């Protein structure tokens, strides 16, 4: 659990496919962006259970200027 966002708006990040998960539809959506650089535009937190906080990030991809949503485990610096 992270209490503060790991990444900030304006920060350059690289998309990575999470490890240790079964490959699913979400991975196929992210595959074209794996290893690509993007810029964090904004981030939001969600709290599915009391005491748990997860951050999701809106990232603009440099390769095609599209915005995608990423979880922290789908980002590396």
pLDDT in tens, the chain (77 residues): 457 899 999 999 999 987 765 556 666 788 899 999 999 999 999 998 888 899 999 999 999 999 999 999 999 98
In a domain, 60, yes or no: yes
In a domain, 23, yes or no: yes
Could you please report the per-residue DSSP string of 9-48? TT-EEEE-PPSSS---HHHHHHGGGTT-EEEEEEEEEE-S
Q: What is the pLDDT of residue 1?
A: 45
HSE-CB at 18 with a 13 A cutoff on CA atoms is 14
**Overall pTM surpassing 0.85 (yes/no):** no
In a domain, 19, yes or no: yes
> Based on the structure, what is the number of domains in the chain?
1
Q: What is the pLDDT of residue 25?
A: 63
Q: Which domain holds residue 23?
A: 12-76
Q: What is the pLDDT of residue 23?
A: 58
In a domain, 3, yes or no: no
Q: What is the pLDDT of residue 48?
A: 86
């Amino acid at each position: 659990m992270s209490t503060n966002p790991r990444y900030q708006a304006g920060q350059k990040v690289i998309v990575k496919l999470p490890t240790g998960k079964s490959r699913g539809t979400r991975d196929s959506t992210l595959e074209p962006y794996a290893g690509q650089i993007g810029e964090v535009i904004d981030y939001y937190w969600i709290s599915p259970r009391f005491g748990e906080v997860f951050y999701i990030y809106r990232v603009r991809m440099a390769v095609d200027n599209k915005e995608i949503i990423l979880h922290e485990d789908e980002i590396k610096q």
